[in-house]
Structure 1
Amino acid sequence: MKSAFWIRTALAGALTFSVTGTTVFAHDELGGSVEKGDNLAGSELRVPLLEGSKNVGNLKEVAAVPLKELNGVKNSTADVYAHKGFAYLGTHSANGGAGGVRVFDMKDPSNPVEVSSFGGIEGTWQEKVIVKTVNTPDFKGDLAVVSVQQLDRNNPNTKGGFVLYDVTNPKEPKELGFWESPSPARGTHELYLTVQGNNIYVLTADCYADFYSHGENMDVSFVDVTNPANPETIYEFNPRDYIPEVSDENYDGYNWTDEEGIQRTAFAHSVKTDGTGKTAYLSYWDLGTIILDISDAKNPVYLGKTDFGSNVQGSAHSMDLAKGGNVLVETREVFGPVRNGFESAYGYTMIYDIKDKTNPKLLSTFKTDFTEKIPGGATVHDPKVHGNTLYLSHYSGGVRVVDITDESNPVETGSYIPSKSNIWGVFVDRNYVLASDMGSGLKVLQKNGYNPENVNNANKAR
């Protein structure tokens, strides 16, 4: 194991990094589309749907705080997470990355205060952060895991993977360990930290690891971090071993020909578990959401996966659970709505009944109605479920609030679209919704009671 500290120290003396030609990455980099959010950089595209509206439906903005500059560099914001009264914001690749995770004290939600940063590594960016309280013989306290992706995967002076920190005192984070991804891809794109009794695991999605390594490494790894100072890979998921319609003959780690002969794309984008840590959900683009029983994390059992119609671009990007784990909410990121042989549509949300995890059944879909008004920003991104309410980050479409009391009939009840909106992630924290805006930092939204009049006004404004 190489520590992130060692990497930073070596880079500081040996690396002069140029981001020329590398500041814009493909989210599906092999497919040639631009990195998520980056195509909204032009102000002519980043316009609000409801001009100047910050209190629509049941959300009210109570704070909007930009990230501090570090060493004279302004970083763009990535995902957001909250734990024990603190918000944790990842950072993206703008201006050379290395922005690390920014920690905000949320004691007063109307006045978040940035109190520390950690995990910034030269030549990389830190998009995803998960924080949980754990208790093992090797570590007791609040543990943070942060994804690390290289700006240039061919740069021998940088490494991808994830870094672990003790954030029991969020104002003074302490580095514990670093897991280096073995693949020649950029490193860990998204990840999840889960606890099974006395065991702690990090599940990683290293996009294109399978493809770039010619099958020697897999996109998804399970890493035992029970001792955070000594992460140990215990399992790699190979879809060829589990899914009957996937084999060496029709899948090369990225390009996949499905059972109907349709050319598709399959790679792991994100990973998550249920609350018990015993069921894993792998968002695998055109393979859908793959469901695994990981009660024995070294020997997972394939249960089933979601599916798409032959005319639907798959693009399973991320997911969340509802109704006690019996309903799966799957978001599909599609920036290019026109593709030969497929429906003309930006990415939208699909809701499945997974009471029988071996046979997910599509219950409904949720689509916004502003695709023509926000070109390039009309795709959904991440979902978060709280009770019977679904919160969706929607780039220029801001934050959408959806009532899923009847999961077969989702109804939008509110939206939040700030000026030049570019909302990456959402997270529900107490009576607040935190939103990360790529261009402008942390937004704090107070949840108000459902008001039909506000919803009707929002619909009229469209």
Structure 2
Amino acid sequence: MKRKNLLVKSALAGVLAISTLVPTGLAHDAFEGGSKLEGEVLTQEDLQFLQDAKLSGGKNLRFLHEAAAVQISPREDGRQNNTADVYAHQGFAYLGTHTANGANGGVRVFDLKDPSNPVEVAKFADDIPFTWQEKVIVKRVNTPHFKGDLAAVSVQQTSRNNVNRPDSFGGVLLYDVTNPYEPERLGFYPLDRRITGTHELYLTTQGNRALVLASNPYADFYTGGVEKDFQIIDVSDPANPEKLWQFDPRILPEVPENFNGYHWNAPDGKTRPLFNHSVITDNNGHHAYVSMWDLGTVIFNIRDPEKPVYLGRTEYREDQKGAAHSAALARGGTILIETREIANPFGAGYEDAYGYTRIFDIRDKTNPVLLSEFTTDLTFDFTPPINTFAKTVHDPKVLGNTLYLSYYSGGVISVDITDPANPVEIGRYTPDRSNVWGVFVDRNYVLASDMGQGLKVLLKNNSNAGDRNVKVAE
């Protein structure tokens, strides 16, 4: 493969967040207009080239330096998977994997005792055939049935409802990772095989109760409304997960009764995609923030998880593609960060812009108030490639007054949100041939998962770990 073409391919093919989820005849918002590259995956050759990236590229995230960059180990059959999201808990990093080279890469566990030398110590959640494991959340839980560190893992089929793959199911896997070196499977919440699976999820606790909030894109569409895109699952007994509630968008006055599970005839006269991509909760598990693409970020009171109450949602200008992809909270849950993944910046009646970030005041959760929109030099740069994910924002994380954004080819961008009405970029980490999918912020480090290059560990500049120091951004 020619190197000049690899960025285009890697930014699109390996990172198609839900390209394999698109209903027949329909398209993810990013593919309106018909991208011919949909469905491609990174090859072994591509991954080898990406993981050999030099360390001399621009890495200038303010106040941080790259302490380590380590690729995940190949599978037992020699195949090299690629990474997806990243999470950290009690000094260990948990990396989900995407679809490259046959998927089934599982979740990889890295010991971060020495952040400059992460060591892969375990792999789990790779036992359901023909699936990939994009998202993992780990939390300490204490229920009448289980006490310890619980991992919830999203599972998606690589080929939905394939008659030749009867043992392939999407859903949520639950593991005991109290000993991260020896994860133990506890249970599985399977979805109807007509549904690709759970794309993203969140694990929260309410007292001695543990809950998984699951995003199952197009579940409503594929099952004719029997299963829904957003579900709340009680995992207090991880061996016996139980669905408590699911969200029917038709309860909202702006969603008509004849809504078909994907195409939404919005009040602005446009036909917009409506599906659940992601979900988070606040720290005490009282409110859920559900990224429902062009329906916006939908906010629920979930104090009673069997009877959640709809509170409000974010809205868009008529010329904006919604594409509510992920969310994060700041200022004790009074500020909402909403990232919008838009890989195709063109479309009749819409602004020409890749996905960017919006910041809301949600002190009144029934009426989110837009404070600002954060764009970068990538947002309006239409030089090739155009129909790829290379220049759109992806995931947000917040620590204090700093917002961290994963940006695919843009790497990780840090933003000062001390004044949320005036966000200011303060730094950027962009490794050579960057393809950063996820970012996670811990008190001790910032982690980035690069689709082709594996785990990146970024440390404060006053740390003694690692020797790959970088210049502080001007």
TM-score normalised by structure 1 residue count: 0.88
Alignment match of 1:215 (pick from 219, 225, 228) = 225
Matches within 5 A, 1:394-409: 394-409=407-422
Mean alpha-carbon deviation: is it higher for 53-62 or for 65-74? 53-62
The equivalent position to 2:58 in structure 1, one of 53, 62, 65, is 53
Shift of 1:185: 1.5
CA gap 1:198/1:261 in 2 versus in 1, 3 angstroms:
same
Question: Is residue 271 of structure 2 the alignment partner of residue 258 of structure 1?
Answer: no
Distance in 2 separating the partners of 1:380 and 1:434: 17
Aligned to 1:455: 473
Aligned counterpart for 2:72 among listed residues 62, 67, 71? 67
Residue 95 of structure 1: SS of its match in structure 2?
Answer: helix
C-alpha deviation, 1:215, in angstroms = 1.1
Alpha-carbon offset, residue 330 of structure 1: 0.1
Letter in 2 for 1:26: S
Tell me how far apart the structure 2 counterparts of residues 28 and 135 of structure 1 sit (CA, whole Å).
Answer: 34
> Where in structure 2 are the equivalents of 1:3-402 lying within 5 Å?
26=19, 29=22, 30-31=26-27, 33=31, 52-71=57-76, 72-120=78-126, 121-155=128-162, 156-182=166-192, 184-241=194-251, 243-249=252-258, 251-370=259-378, 371-372=381-382, 375=385, 376=388, 377-402=390-415
Contact 2:41 2:101 in 1 (8 A): no
The superposition leaves residues 292-323 of structure 1 with CA deviations (integer Å, 9 ceiling, x where unpaired) of 00000000000000000000000000000001
Shift in Å, 1:431: 2.5
Compared CA separation, residues 372 and 446, structure 1 to 2 (3 A): farther
Residue type of the partner of 2:147?
Answer: K
> Displacement, 1:154?
2.0
Q: For the Cα contact (< 8 Å) 2:14–2:40, is it kept in 1?
A: no
Q: What is the CA distance between 1:232 and its match in structure 2?
A: 0.6
Tell me what 2:465 maps to.
none
CA distance in 2, matches of 1:56, 1:348: 19
Please tell me the residue identity of whatever aligns with 1:223: I
Whether the 8 Å contact between 2:169 and 2:192 is mirrored in structure 1 is no
Residue 86 of structure 1 deviates from its aligned partner by: 0.3
- Counterparts in 2 of 1:324 and 1:191: CA distance versus 1, 3 Å: same
Unmatched segments (≥5 aa) in structure 2 = 1-12, 32-36, 463-470
Whichever residue aligns with residue 261 of structure 1, its letter is G
CA–CA distance in structure 2, aligned partners of residues 39 and 327 of structure 1: 37
Partner amino acid, structure 1, of 2:143: T
SS at match of 1:455: coil
Contact 2:297 2:324 in 1 (8 A): yes
- Evaluate the alpha carbon distance shift between residue 315 and residue 407 of structure 1 in structure 2; reply closer, same or farther with a 3 A threshold: same
Indicate conservation of the 8 Å contact 2:129/2:167, yes or no: no
Deviation at 1:70, TM superposition (A): 1.2
The 3 A distance-change label for structure 1 pair 426 and 102 is same
- Secondary structure of the 1:324 match is helix
Q: Any conservation in 2 of the 1:176–1:229 contact (CA below 8 Å)?
A: yes
Checking the alignment, whether the CA contact within 8 Å between 1:90 and 1:101 is kept in structure 2 is yes
Superposed CA RMSD = 2.5
**Runs ≥4 in structure 1, deviation > 4 angstroms?**
21-25, 34-43
- Residue equivalent to 1:8: none
What is the CA–CA distance in structure 2 between the aligned matches of 1:217 and 1:165, rounded to whole Å?
24
Moved more, 153-162 or 435-444: 153-162
CA displacement at 1:455 relative to structure 2? 2.9
In the superposition, relative to structure 1, how do residues 148 and 294 fare at CA in structure 2: closer, same or farther (>3 Å)? same
CA deviation after TM superposition for structure 1 residue 36, in Å: 10
Give the letter aligned to residue 238 of structure 2. P
Say which SS state the counterpart of residue 211 (structure 1) adopts. Answer: helix
Displacement after TM superposition at 1:373 (Å): 5.7
Correspondence for 2:450? 437
Q: What's the offset of the Cα at 1:55?
A: 3.2
> Unpaired runs of 5+ in structure 1?
1-20, 457-462
Aligned-residue offset at 1:183: 5.9
Which residue pairs with 2:434 in the alignment?
421
